[in-house]
Amino acid sequence: MSKPLNSGKKAVLLQPSRIRREPAAPVAEKSVRAYPTERETWTVVIGVLMFALAITILTFRISDITAH
């Protein structure tokens, strides 16, 4: 085991902080929807299908251009 450090310096006595803080405001409860609405569901489905269609068209166009 190591020996305690004897540096010869006096210990510093620290004063407690005088900063006063206001308590945190109570958090208002939020209403949570468990399931998305039908409109949100259809928006996601249409977005995914449009993205897939764009990737498919892009793939065919690149294939057609590089085949010549």
What pLDDT shows up at residue 34?
A: 72
* Residue 20 maps to a domain: no
Write out the chain's pLDDT in tens, 68 residues: 577 677 777 877 877 777 777 888 888 888 877 788 899 999 999 999 999 999 999 999 999 999 97
pTM: 0.48
In the chain, what are the helix, strand and coil shares in percent, each to the nearest 5?
Answer: 45, 0, 55
Number of domains observed in the structure of the chain = 1
What pLDDT shows up at residue 1?
A: 59
What pLDDT shows up at residue 36?
A: 81
Q: Which residues constitute the domain of residue 54?
A: 36-68
Burial category of 32 from C-beta neighbours within 10 Å (exposed 0-12, middle 13-18, buried 19 and up): exposed
* Residue 67 maps to a domain: yes
